[in-house]
Amino acid sequence: MWKIASVSDMQMFVGIIISGIISACLTGLVLKLAKKRGVLPIVRVRDTHKTPLPRIGGVAIFGAFLITVLIFRFIDPPAVAGFGFPFAVLGFSIDKRLLALLTGGLVLVLAMLYDDLRGLKAYQKLLTQVVVALIVIVGGIGVSYINNPFGGPEWRLDGWQIPISLGSAVYHLVVLADVLVVLWLVLLMNVLNFSDGIDGLAGSIGVISLGVLAILSSRVPVLQESTALIARIGVGAVLGFLLWNLPPARIFMGDSGSMFLGFLIGVLAIIAGAKLATTLVVLAIPILDALFVVCVRIIKNQNPFTTADQSHLHHKFLQVGLSVRQTLTLLVSFSLLFGLAALQNDGLAKARAFIVAIIVVAMTMVSVQLLIQSKKRKQI
């Protein structure tokens, strides 16, 4: 059973405001320091901006998120302790799941900050993603079952368990559930990273996703107010950053920001009653776009994760003549529509929404590609 903390609407609102203000200030500070120290990476082939801009804004997003969570932890402990897994480390009492979320986020952000500044190889990024997913699993965050969208019995994932002795403690490796968590978090971290291709896109999609999870976490039967508060703190942290990242962007979140955003969404989706299907619908456009690009690169015998090109949907919109603002508005509108569809409690309705998303993405991809080819023929 979940231990329910009493978190008022005012606390939820304050969480957004505090994290938003801290994020906006930290982002401005990071931007100033990056310019002062010359941390301005060269413009890459896949980039849509013309002049070098800092790509370390993720530090500000995570910093604002962490600081705001700790503020609530010390000022109003029950507000962020409603997961029901009390834990003490070095004399400091904190919820075990919350500790796993913060620890995994910190490891991920530090590793990807190094990537933003110095560069990591693809396998090193993947290894980092797997490590933070394992931190989450050790923290007790997992999926024991998945609801059947067709109304039948739920699909259990906790049948195959392997006991592992660690001193006097015995930990059970829940094979299917733990593998699913790793694959799920790796997927979302990469999807949000892929979507960070134009000003404000990854952040806007992240706000919609976290907003939907916050709303669902506040509803019956989930009713996890602490989860809702954490999601809203994430919303505020991203909104504060977006003040500097909307077109024309002055700073980008980089891998440290986009992967942390995917990590946060993925973890909260699991905690909020395994809302994986809900999250799939909200992120249907970027997920399908990422899968399409990966498949095309594999067909072309290219590395799907290291190839630098402009093959994503947002790049295609720019190639047919849409501006960055128009492209952002269009894609965010799609995400918002699917976010509203994801708020439906009916599992079958969510399945239908995802099928619609597949059709929409496929038709859009084909239409845009035909427009690009027509434009090229006219230029010839």
Average pLDDT over residues 50-65: 92
Rounded distance between C-alpha atoms, residue 246 and residue 372, angstroms:
26
**Residues 328, 63, 124: CA angle, nearest 5 degrees:** 75
* Residue 161, strand partner residues: 174
Look at residue 65 and tell me whether its pLDDT is greater than 60: yes
pLDDT tens for each residue of 213-235: 999 888 766 678 889 999 999 99
pLDDT tens for each residue of 246-293: 999 999 999 999 999 999 999 999 988 768 888 998 999 999 998 888
Look at residue 85 and tell me whether its pLDDT is greater than 60: yes
Rounded distance between C-alpha atoms, residue 66 and residue 18, angstroms:
11
Burial class (CB in 10 A: 0-12, 13-18, 19+), 310: middle
Rounded distance between C-alpha atoms, residue 241 and residue 20, angstroms:
8
